[in-house]
Amino acid sequence: MSGQNSRSPAIPLYKIVLVGDTGVGKTSIFLRYERNYFSRHRTSSFGVDKCTKEISVDDQLCKLNIWDTAGLERTGSLTSHYYHLAQSIIFVYSVESLASLTALHHWIQDAEQYAPNAKKFLAGNKNDLDKDDWEVYEGILQRFMDNKEFALKFDISALSGDGVCEMFKSISRHLLQRNVKPSLPATDGFSVPDLSQEDSLDLRKSMTSESGSGCSC
């Protein structure tokens, strides 16, 4: 009978933040993963947005608290609050823009200042584009990655969804396998602690999903 009173095992909660220059597709990645949504005609977003998703990796559950700058980087006002308690930072560039890759030097400096222990991941978005339109090739990418300590790198497309779910699953596996300390463990399978006193700006209430209710990871 005692088993009926036992609580479910705590599910670790990992905070993941997306950073990178405006236009690289951070919000599109966020929305593709959160609700399997993409729109070519979506207006530029502004504010901080976040969502929490539960994911199963190798029969182990964890929760991902994913943060998107949603255009706030344009103001230069990202602070330590955005990075607070983050275990992972995804540095996003566009494969069609060498400048967006070079600009990540600035974001890496911020991350090392505000979240020095966070794992770094590199994501090249828009891999659906014709290769002739790419400005970031493997040789350039490897030189950029030298001495940057990226745990993993990914080629993804928020437009097609290619690689997006796989990226978040691989990041989750990396954190779980290395016993990275979570932000806070959820007390049960349902509750999610608030990692911030700052309210997110919900820019998605009026959106209608084109493809479903989220990645079926």
pLDDT digits (tens, 9 = 90+) for 113-139: 999 999 999 999 999 999 999 999 999
Residue 192 within a domain: no
Residue 139 lies in a domain: yes
> How far is it, in rounded angstroms, from Cα 26 to Cα 33?
11
The structural domain count of the chain equals 1
> Of how many residues is the chain composed?
217
Q: What global pTM score does this model have? A: 0.82
3-class DSSP state of 166 = helix
Residue with tokens 């479910």: 8
pLDDT bin (cut points 50, 70, 90) of residue 191 is very low
In a domain, 56, yes or no: yes
Q: In the predicted model, what is the mean pLDDT of residues 87-91?
A: 97
Give the C-alpha separation, 196 to 215, whole Å. 25
**CATH number of the domain bearing residue 138:** 3.40.50.300
Q: What is the pLDDT of residue 187?
A: 43
Task: Check residue 69 and give its pLDDT.
Answer: 78
pLDDT of 188: 47
Answer yes or no: is 195 within a domain: no
**8 Å CB contact between 70 and 47:** yes
**Would you state the pLDDT for residue 210?**
46
Is residue 101 included in any domain, yes or no?
yes
Per the prediction, the chain carries an average pLDDT of 82
Q: Which domain range does residue 80 map to?
A: 13-185
Residue 189 pLDDT: 45
* Main-chain dihedrals φ then ψ at residue 31, nearest 5 degrees: -70, -35
Within-domain flag for 60: yes
The answer to whether the CB of 153 falls within 8 A of the CB of 170 is no
Is residue 1 a part of any domain in this protein? no
Helices 164-177, 26-35: crossing angle, 10 deg rounding: 80
Does residue 212 surpass a pLDDT of 60? no
Examine residue 217 and state whether it is found in any structural domain, yes or no: no
pLDDT over 70 at 198, yes or no: no
pLDDT band at residue 54 using 50, 70 and 90 as cut-offs: very high
